[in-house]
Structure 1
Amino acid sequence: AGILGATLSSALSTMVGAPRILAALAENRTIPLARVLASKTPNNDPRNAILVSSAIALVVIMVGNLDSLATMLTMFFLATYGAINLIVFIEKTLGIASFRPQFDLALVIPIVGFCGCLGAMLLINKLFTILAILVIVLIYSRLASKNLVSPWGDVRGGVFTAITEWAAQKAMSMPYHPRLWKPSIIVPVENPLNYRNVMHLTRDIIYPSGRLYCLSVYTENNGLSQLESKRELLAPLIAEELFVQDISITDGSFDSALPVVLQTLKSSFLPPNAVLLTISNNREKQKRLLSLIEKINSFQIGLMCLHIHPKTGFGQEKKINLWLRDRSPNINLAVLTAFQLMQNWDQANLNLLRVVKNREDIEKAVLNLEFFKEKARLPVNTAVRVIQGDFYEVIQQETADITIFGMPVPCNTMFDLIGKVPSTVIFLADSGLENAIV
């Protein structure tokens, strides 16, 4: 009689509880056919969920035997208790202030509980243990893919934060080496509508594992419209799962904001290592650019100055001309940037070029560039060309989809060069943190 009563009690509680649990899952849209299963009668009874759960129970009983069914159900009960113990262990380990149960436990208790549940599952049936774990993984994957927002919070955020804090402490305690370099660029954006081509090139420089910091300065009048335009500008990069951080400042100007932001970010865990500025044909903006470059030079950070050709843009994204002066101090960032573009432009070709005044210097210059090409491990199809003549005359005859120069001294020489080169031009200055041959 006792066994019969216990069995009937369990059956009744399951009959009442299972359909409502199924309906609750459907209300949160965590299972297929959610709209059908979540519907209820005027008496608030989940009729469709009752029918479906009853059908599932009958099919399982008819197909299998009760002993196997009992074993499988035991597995899922033990898996549930094991998961609860594991979650308690994780929450206590993270040290989150919001997790403060009135009945506190020693850390060893959830560990013993989790290991005990797993051990019991393996002792009962190894095959069903594997099956139960696979079902749990499938359910978790299904829920994670739906990007559900939990009103009571998500412990995964705390786990990732704890891992990040631990990794940050370890990384910051180790010395930096140029071998660890990857593109991490901060781009000041004045008007998001005019920066689509700039973001396109930035994406091609940082993809697949670089970082982008997008800085904007707003006023109260244009703040909302600019923010919306900026979200649209960054959306394609975020969709590709690139590291993108939006930095917005109200009031002020780029001339005053950029140095402050650089000082702040340089002391962070993942600092930028280059600044990308655009070159305008407007004389007043060119003066502002030179003033901004003077301020940036006090930081140990790379400098990129981009001028997009008004007619050709980036052309067919097939040909990259990299001009390397003999003993130039700004070679490394230029080479690494050219390599990134070559990797991300489909079937792009890289040309290493140099101009010499005397014919007898050509052979030596070719050997020098070939040696550098080998040391920098550039692709074998990288072409080396040394041309005799006047530099300003030669660059006018060499066409490409993008032309890369080391930063000239003085910097205002850039403005003369962009009028002579028949393509988009980018000037680069090393920070000292990069090395193309390591």
Structure 2
Amino acid sequence: MAQDEPADSKFGTFGGVFTPCTLTILGVIMFLRFGQVVGQSGVLFALLIVAASKLITTFTTLSLSAIATNTRVKGGGAYYLISRSLGVEFGGAIGVVFYLAQAISVAMYVIGFTEAFLMTYNLSADHFIAIATVVNIGTFICVYIGASWAIKVQYFILAALALSLVSFFAGAIPDINLELLQTNLQPHFESGESLFTMFALFFPAVTGIMAGANMSGDLKRPSQSIPTGTLWAVLVTGLIYMTLALVLGTVRSHDELINNNLIMKDIAVWPALITVGVFAATLSSALGSMMGAPRILQAFSKDEIFHSLRFFGAGSGATREPRRATVVTFVIAQLCILLGDLNAIAPIITMFFMITYGLLNLATFYEAVTHNPSYRPTFKYCHWSVSLAGTLGCLAVMFLMNWVWATISILMIAGLHWYIRFREIESRWGDLNSGVIFERSRQNLLRLEQEVYHPKNWRPIILALSGTAWTRPHLAIYGHWLTSGHGILSLGHIVTGNIEDYAERRAKFEETLRNFINDEELLAFPAVVISPYISDGIEALVQCHGIGGLRPNTILLGWPGDEQKSETFGATVRLVSRLGRSVIAVRFLDADVDNAWDVPHGTIDVWWRGKKNGSLMLLLAHLLHQNPEWRGNPIRMLRSVSTETGREDVINHIEEQSAMARISVEPIAIVSENAETAIQHHSRNAAIVILGFEPPEEGKEAEFFNHMETFAGNLPRVLFVNSAGGMELES
């Protein structure tokens, strides 16, 4: 509990949730437009509209209840819940839209009050803007003083609303006419109206389910009050609307229902109570929206998604009243009042609320299906299928009502989502993104493990033994080029020493490596192990790094700089080969550490000596060439032959291999008695040369090193490749 928000200043379930929800639902639409909905749609379709609306709001309430009981709910209502689940992008987008929906709702309820006021006292429509403005100012003043006072006023409004309904039903009983009901069962749509336009007109009436959630920061126990209070409000108001539809269709003709916006007053036994009820309902709904909207803007601004809105995140007084946000809400409502058309405003609000409801359902759906251990709601009556149905229902109804406004609304959300992502705004709270990715990865890994492996699906999963990668970045960068867009790269660093001495520093080594990856913008993962000996560390990394089908199939390491290191290198290569991994040994003379990303001019030369290593060599050349930086470096496939007579056959063979591999190469056959001389002469201007090798036998490491050095000679950049198989060029 924050020090500046005393417990005794907060509200319980009845006052903080049930009352504002009920008053907002039983508001202006019920008194001034529900007769029109029944008259045009007919009783059966009116019941369908109420049932469909309540079904969507019930699904949403169940989702709201689940997600509200899974986290410590603070101010901001639906915005807070969505942003903490779906992330900053969706949270920021919905924060803007949901706030506007609530702010515009203030205007809708004020307009409704003004219409009723003018009709009650037979005043000229010329006074409409003036009266609505006065009411808007009065609502603003009540809320600006503080929510506590406004909540107390709502108790009296609830009592007045109950009395007005009693008056209506008492007056309707003597007029019940079953023959009239028979006539009113069927629709009587006027020109341009339909079931969906009536749905759009009615739906704002049931959006009041968020009135309690919007007050989440002012509730004593939001995780208990929001589910209980909202569900009871949905149930009670649903029964009232169903009963109203039947009664209205039983006591008045469809013409009267359509043309008389105060039909309930004419039916009531005490008409004055209906007038009181209309005034009370519209004013209470305006108060509820005027209280809820600023709290959404305040919570949204506190998160600093848009720095320009930080000014509105401040609170006033001991209870942190959002007075700055209240002023902005008043201005927006006043601008909408100038439009003065309730029927024009209602569909816009409907779209904004439908998007909010849809995303709230989507957030709960993702929380459930990702099986995140942190998702432990105490409310147990919401299955993921209910949340998914709520999401799809909201989307479908949006397009059925008005596909143009639905498209505009979705594009608006998408645009805000893109803008926030483009600005790379980071949230300071945990959200579902990592959970969704984890669950998707988990399922895909299990599926990959069960799939029968085929050489066609071979991809480079490279473990680069880069050590302190920042001192020889060419290893990491070439690993990036060989896997970018096609495979996975891990940078391995072995810290020699006793694990008891270095265990606490391991995280620091890994963080340093991760920083190098981020600074160089590599697509790679860090891998750090502590081992007394380099050889043991390599063995541990090669055997244990990765998971399932994503274990490294290729080890990238540096070529030894001198003969003295050849024994260790030879032992490492033999070990890697026995473990079934391919090897790429990088031999660069005088590598430029400061310009490691520079692509050298020249060709990519593959010296073919058969398919044992040749298939992997050619594929690596292709993968390198696929990088935009290397597109200007053509691939050459070369082979040395001892006589001119065999030259044509070699060219044909290379062309066949290239065609089967579907890799474009320039075939070259060189007649030479000395392969070493041919390689150094014909590839002296190559950007990089790829040569095959076989691991040395034990005790012959130095001989192997010197032999391979004669092939490489003074070539500046050479990749020595030993293939463990597992891939085919023809696949």
Greater mean alpha carbon deviation, residues 197-206 or residues 58-67: 58-67
Aligned to 2:484: 207
Aligned mates of 2:438, 2:695 — CA distance in 1: 45
Superposition deviation, residue 428 in structure 1: 0.6
Letter of the 1:177 partner, please give it: H
Are the structure 2 counterparts of residues 69 and 169 from structure 1 closer, same or farther at C-alpha, using a change threshold of 3 Å?
Answer: same
Aligned to 2:586: 306
How do 1:177-256 residues align onto structure 2 when only pairs under 5 Å count? Answer: 177-218=454-495, 219=497, 220=501, 226-227=509-510, 229-236=512-519, 239=521, 242=523, 244-256=524-536
Check whether the contact 2:556–2:586 (CA below 8 A) recurs between aligned residues: yes
Are the structure 2 counterparts of residues 181 and 21 from structure 1 closer, same or farther at C-alpha, using a change threshold of 3 Å?
Answer: same
Does residue 393 of structure 1 match 2:683?
no
Deviation per residue, 1:57-108 (Å, 9 max, x gap):
2223324622221222233334333433333333333333433333311525
Does residue 354 of structure 1 match 2:639?
yes
Superposition deviation, residue 430 in structure 1: 1.2
Aligned to 1:271: 551
Greater mean alpha carbon deviation, residues 44-53 or residues 248-257: 44-53
Aligned to 2:175: none
Aligned to 1:70: 346
Deviation per residue, 1:100-150 (Å, 9 max, x gap):
333311525434544554455455444333333333434444454544335
Match for 2:452 among 163, 167, 175? 175
Aligned mates of 2:695, 2:390 — CA distance in 1: 69
Greater mean alpha carbon deviation, residues 201-210 or residues 31-40: 31-40
Letter of the 2:432 partner, please give it: V
Greater mean alpha carbon deviation, residues 178-187 or residues 100-109: 100-109
Letter of the 2:582 partner, please give it: G
Aligned mates of 1:231, 1:90 — CA distance in 2: 29
Aligned mates of 1:277, 1:228 — CA distance in 2: 21
Check whether the contact 1:191–1:226 (CA below 8 A) recurs between aligned residues: no
Are the structure 2 counterparts of residues 126 and 57 from structure 1 closer, same or farther at C-alpha, using a change threshold of 3 Å?
Answer: same
Aligned mates of 1:409, 1:251 — CA distance in 2: 24
Superposition deviation, residue 331 in structure 1: 0.8
Does residue 407 of structure 1 match 2:693?
yes
Are the structure 2 counterparts of residues 436 and 236 from structure 1 closer, same or farther at C-alpha, using a change threshold of 3 Å?
Answer: farther
Report the 3-state secondary structure (helix = DSSP H, G, I; strand = E; otherwise coil) of the residue aligned with 1:165.
Answer: helix
Report the 3-state secondary structure (helix = DSSP H, G, I; strand = E; otherwise coil) of the residue aligned with 1:281.
Answer: coil
Superposition deviation, residue 178 in structure 1: 1.5
Report the 3-state secondary structure (helix = DSSP H, G, I; strand = E; otherwise coil) of the residue aligned with 2:306.
Answer: coil
Aligned mates of 1:363, 1:111 — CA distance in 2: 65
Match for 1:331 among 597, 614, 617? 614
Superposition deviation, residue 185 in structure 1: 0.6
Root-mean-square deviation over aligned CA pairs: 2.9
Are the structure 2 counterparts of residues 284 and 335 from structure 1 closer, same or farther at C-alpha, using a change threshold of 3 Å?
Answer: same
Check whether the contact 2:574–2:695 (CA below 8 A) recurs between aligned residues: no
Report the 3-state secondary structure (helix = DSSP H, G, I; strand = E; otherwise coil) of the residue aligned with 1:231.
Answer: helix
Aligned mates of 1:267, 1:91 — CA distance in 2: 25
Aligned mates of 2:391, 2:631 — CA distance in 1: 51
Check whether the contact 2:368–2:375 (CA below 8 A) recurs between aligned residues: yes
Structure with larger RCO (C-alpha < 8 A, sep 6+): 2
Are the structure 2 counterparts of residues 267 and 35 from structure 1 closer, same or farther at C-alpha, using a change threshold of 3 Å?
Answer: closer
Aligned to 1:61: 337
Percent identical residues: 24
Report the 3-state secondary structure (helix = DSSP H, G, I; strand = E; otherwise coil) of the residue aligned with 1:297.
Answer: helix
Does residue 318 of structure 1 match 2:602?
yes
Does residue 110 of structure 1 match 2:387?
yes
Deviation per residue, 1:166-197 (Å, 9 max, x gap):
22222222211111122211011223232212
Aligned mates of 1:26, 1:200 — CA distance in 2: 42
Report the 3-state secondary structure (helix = DSSP H, G, I; strand = E; otherwise coil) of the residue aligned with 2:721.
Answer: strand
Gaps of 5+ in 2: 1-275
Does residue 290 of structure 1 match 2:570?
yes
Deviation per residue, 1:414-434 (Å, 9 max, x gap):
443335242211111112112
Letter of the 2:518 partner, please give it: A
Aligned to 2:127: none
Does residue 96 of structure 1 match 2:389?
no
Does residue 384 of structure 1 match 2:384?
no
Higher percent of residues as helix: 2
Report the 3-state secondary structure (helix = DSSP H, G, I; strand = E; otherwise coil) of the residue aligned with 1:389.
Answer: coil
Tell me the matched-pair count.
Answer: 432
Report the 3-state secondary structure (helix = DSSP H, G, I; strand = E; otherwise coil) of the residue aligned with 2:725.
Answer: coil
Gaps of 5+ in 1: none
Check whether the contact 1:418–1:425 (CA below 8 A) recurs between aligned residues: no
Check whether the contact 1:94–1:159 (CA below 8 A) recurs between aligned residues: yes
Aligned mates of 1:46, 1:391 — CA distance in 2: 82
Report the 3-state secondary structure (helix = DSSP H, G, I; strand = E; otherwise coil) of the residue aligned with 2:565.
Answer: helix
Report the 3-state secondary structure (helix = DSSP H, G, I; strand = E; otherwise coil) of the residue aligned with 2:585.
Answer: strand
Aligned mates of 1:111, 1:307 — CA distance in 2: 56
Report the 3-state secondary structure (helix = DSSP H, G, I; strand = E; otherwise coil) of the residue aligned with 1:33.
Answer: helix
Higher percent of residues as strand: 1
Aligned mates of 2:420, 2:324 — CA distance in 1: 22
Letter of the 1:321 partner, please give it: D
Aligned to 2:707: 416
Structure number, greater radius of gyration: 2
Are the structure 2 counterparts of residues 52 and 177 from structure 1 closer, same or farther at C-alpha, using a change threshold of 3 Å?
Answer: same
Check whether the contact 1:366–1:386 (CA below 8 A) recurs between aligned residues: no
Q: TM-score, normalised by structure 1?
A: 0.88
Aligned mates of 1:5, 1:159 — CA distance in 2: 46
Aligned to 1:158: 435
Q: TM-score, normalised by structure 2?
A: 0.54
Check whether the contact 1:205–1:337 (CA below 8 A) recurs between aligned residues: yes
Aligned mates of 1:46, 1:397 — CA distance in 2: 78
Aligned mates of 1:79, 1:369 — CA distance in 2: 60
